[in-house]
Amino acid sequence: MTEVAGEIWRMLDEQTRDRALPQGADALWHAGMGLFSRMRLRQRQILHRAQSVLAWEKDFAGLTDHRLQEEAGRSREVFRLHRDKPRDLDRAFALVREVAERQIGQKPFAVQVAGGLGLAQGWIVEMATGEGKTLTATMPAVVAGWRGRGCHIITVNDYLARRDAEWMGRIYRFCGLQVAFIEQDMEPKDRRPAYLADITYCTNKEVTADFLRDKLQVGRLKNASSALLARIASGGRSPLDRLVQRGLACAIVDEADSVLVDEAVTPLIISGPGPNREQLEAFRQAADAAGALDSFADYRINLRYREVELTAQGRGRLAAMASSWPGVWQGARRREELVTKALTAKELYLKDKHYIISDGKVVIVDDFTGRVMPDRSWRDGLHQAVEAKERLEVTDPKDTYARISFQRFFRLYQHLSGMTGTAREAAAEFWQIYGRPIVVIPTNRPCRRKVLPDIVLATKELKWQRLVEEVRQIHARGRPILIGTRSVRDSEQLSLLLQDERLSHQVLNAARHREEAQIIAGAGQPGQITVATNMAGRGTDIKLGRGVADLGGLHVVAAERNESGRIDRQLFGRCARQGDPGTAQAIVSLEDEFVRRYTPDIVRHLDRRHAETKGDLSSPVTRAAFRFAQRRAERFALRQRKSVMQLDRWLDENLGFAGEL
């Protein structure tokens, strides 16, 4: 067995790292330790150490490029042999700073050095939007690459993986390291050398899917010895020869809140076709049956839990309708499951919000980023139910081959760290799930963003009217405006209203994502109006045009509050970067789905209290209702993420025939 194969097995053996979440008194102790961890003076500690790194600057500034590369080679040997001391890390960071200035013309500031030190410690680092997280990651990534076991830098999409690998590649190559990236359409033969590089940029979905595919290749082999026996028995061939990854040593997660928290609601599943002609026809019949049932009388909708339940009357009507239908319809439980799924698709999964139709296919829109996910499908028949609702060709259901939650996968890394603009709100979860403390890094220049109080209106119609009027007034002053919406449908509706008022604008959403780079590049120009879903700007920079700073900078408007305050803060973070001026404000209504879903009783009370009010309802009380709804939504989402992780463990423990994952 080769050294590489042994390393693979050591990395893939997750049992020592994938421990169950603490329960009972252990959970209380663990939470208390997390609270104590957040109280430590971690920020002061690494800011002070960053000054020590900067003190090394004079040692490298006068060296020629050849001498600097020799110094990099010596540092690499120290870290490869694990002979490094804290002083060596400081020196290495200083060296990378000098390399960055020479290779890409950017030298990390002291706050970026502090952020890099936090990543090297295995922390979640909060750095404000626009503070240069991409460059910050190069310092700990170089050190991880020098250790010789690879470093994965996780980004949120393929575009950023390619862009950052190419942009920062000159730094890594100067330091004697190989850099590569993974894209969705890459073949396995190209993925293997990319993972063997010292630094690999990839998305969370691709790295997790490759891990699952490798586990399927390994099959039931339990250790390196059994793999060696399999190689002998098969005449020199082994499942290990088909693996693409070499293990999970180090990960630096960009947009850590999105990857480790928001997207962790849904597990990643490897599946294959499971054709069933009778079942496909049953989905179409279920859609017809769902259309014939009456809301309230035949079924009830729970918006908070996004569930549909048949009433006794509904079950009776369904039994009568299905009495002459064949096959699965003769079993009460099966027909009720089919129709409940069809009702869920009809009532809770909306076109241009949860999905779009592209080239005759249902394409999912990510709830948190607003981006399309053409490679994803809903499970347990929901995708087929949506296709049947839209009268499209119903695709074959899929059989699950392997699955893993993102929480469980990222806990497998021996060294995990992350960076994001919004970590504070999820500090408890980062500690509880991943055992990672957070540190907040101050901005390089004082932040000049002014967040204005929310404007609360009674109805959606009044909200859109007020929003258009606000846009008109700010546009008249020449300031650029970015308006964030939660769905494709809302962005298109607002676009029509702006057209009616002859306000020229650009629209960025899942249906128009191809123009994203061009639209974002111009979003900070004088007088520009940009309407966008949550996809706008994550990982990109909105640069202000000439004279815009003197006018007050970019103005950001949230047309609806999100279920997480972190996402609102990300949107507001599009303005006032790197010391620029900017303003942000939310314009919301009591008819917004979000607040009605999580605080229906409060909304009904406010409706009665302000029944005669037709104008602005803004007050500390109405604004508090939205904050309370967000806290409730965040607690609910956390329970969902925990349940996904616990289900993973339950499946492993109780369905042993499926193999361990």
pLDDT digit string (tens) for 369-382?
A: 677 788 788 888 89
> Is the pLDDT at 3 greater than 60, yes or no?
no
DSSP code string of 362-430: EEEE-TTT--EETT---TTTHHHHHHHHTTPPPPPPEEEEEEE-HHHHHTT-SEEEEEES--GGGHHHH
Predicted pLDDT at 376: 82
Residue 418 has a pLDDT of: 97
Q: What is the mean predicted confidence (pLDDT) over 483-487?
A: 91
246 and 305 share one domain: no
Whether 18 shows a pLDDT value over 60: the answer reads: no
Range name among 70-74, 353-357, 395-399 with the lowest pLDDT average:
395-399
Question: Which CATH number characterizes residue 627's domain?
Answer: 3.40.50.300
Reported as a single tens digit per residue, the pLDDT across 250-305 is 999 999 998 999 888 888 888 877 767 778 889 999 999 999 999 889 999 988 78
Interval 545-555: pLDDT, tens: 999 999 999 99
- Note the pLDDT of residue 458: 92
Q: Give me the sign of the Cα torsion angle 105, 153, 379, 377.
A: positive
Tell me if 368 is assigned to some domain: yes
Residue-level pLDDT at 612: 74
Average pLDDT rounded to a whole number, residues 315-337: 90
Residue 618 has pLDDT above 90, yes or no: yes
**CATH code, domain with 369:** 3.90.1440.10
279 and 381 together in one domain: yes
Supply the pLDDT for residue 163: 93
CA distance 393 to 90: 59
- Number of domains composing the chain: 3
**pLDDT at position 129:** 84
pLDDT band, very low/low/confident/very high, at 34 (cuts 50, 70, 90): low
Range in 242-251, 303-312, 362-371 with the lowest mean pLDDT: 362-371
Asked whether residue 44 is assigned to any structural domain, the reply reads: yes
Does residue 225 sit within a domain? yes
Angstrom distance (rounded) from CA 107 to CA 424: 27
Would 638 be classed as within a structural domain?
no
Q: 525 and 484: one domain?
A: yes
Give a yes or no: residue 211 inside a domain: yes
pLDDT at 556: 96
- What percent of the chain is modeled with pLDDT above 70? 86
**What is the rounded average pLDDT for all residues in the chain?**
87
Q: Are residues 188 and 46 in the same domain?
A: yes
- Kindly state the DSSP code that residue 456 receives in the 8-state scheme: E
Does 120 have pLDDT greater than 50?
yes
Domain stops at, among 363, 378, 396: 396
User: What do you get for the CA distance between the two ends of the chain, in Å?
Assistant: 23
> 439 near 125, Cβ under 8 Å?
yes
Both 235 and 303 in a single domain? no
Show which of 362, 396, 430 is a domain's final residue.
Answer: 396
Question: What is the Cα–Cα distance from 231 to 355, expressed in whole angstroms?
Answer: 46
pLDDT the model gives residue 15 = 38
Q: Does residue 467 form part of some domain?
A: yes
* Same-domain pairing of 11 and 155: yes
Name the pLDDT band for 8 (thresholds 50, 70, 90): very low
Residue 188 has pLDDT above 70, yes or no: yes
In the chain, what are the helix, strand and coil shares in percent, each to the nearest 5? 55, 15, 30
**Higher local confidence (pLDDT), 371 or 15:** 371
Summarised one tens digit per residue, pLDDT across range 209-248 is 999 999 888 775 555 565 656 666 666 566 677 889 999 9
147 and 206 inside one domain: yes
pLDDT at 348 over 90: yes
Mean of pLDDT values over 634-647: 84
pLDDT band per the 50, 70, 90 thresholds, residue 9: very low
**414 belongs to a structural domain:** yes
More confident residue, 660 or 483: 483
Task: Single out the residue in 386, 421, 440 at which a domain terminates.
Answer: 440
Q: What is the DSSP string of 143-164?
A: HHHHTTS-EEEEESSHHHHHHH
Q: What is the mean pLDDT of residues 199-206?
A: 96
Grade residue 580 by pLDDT with cuts at 50, 70 and 90. Answer: very high
Residue 5 confidence (pLDDT): 43
CB atoms within 10 A of CB 331: 11
- Amino acid at position 581, single letter: P
pLDDT of residue 305: 82
Q: CA-to-CA distance for 456 and 537, rounded, in angstroms?
A: 26
pLDDT at 642: 82
Is residue 520 in a domain? yes
Residue scoring higher pLDDT (97 or 566): 97
Q: Higher model confidence: residue 519 or residue 502? A: 502
pLDDT band at 608 (very low <50, low <70, confident <90, very high): confident
Phi, psi of 393 (to 5 degrees): -65, 125
Is 213 in the same domain as 190?
yes
Could you list the residue range(s) of the whole structural domain that residue 129 is in?
Answer: 3-269+406-440
- Express each pLDDT in 40-81 by its tens digit: 568 899 999 999 999 999 999 999 999 999 999 999 999 999
pLDDT at 7 over 50: no
Residues 146 and 62 reside in one and the same domain: yes
Sole residue written with tokens 């104590």:
36
Ramachandran bin of 226, using left for φ above 0, alpha for ψ from -120 to 50, beta for the remaining angles: alpha
* Range with the poorest average pLDDT among 112-116, 150-154, 155-159, 391-395: 155-159
| Whether residue 502 is found in the same domain as residue 432 | no
Residues 38 and 96 occupy one common structural domain: yes
One domain for residues 322 and 339: yes
The top-scoring range by mean pLDDT among 112-116, 325-329, 646-650 is: 112-116
- The share of the chain scoring above pLDDT 90, in percent, equals 62
Give the pLDDT score at 629: 94
According to DSSP, residue 236 is labeled: S
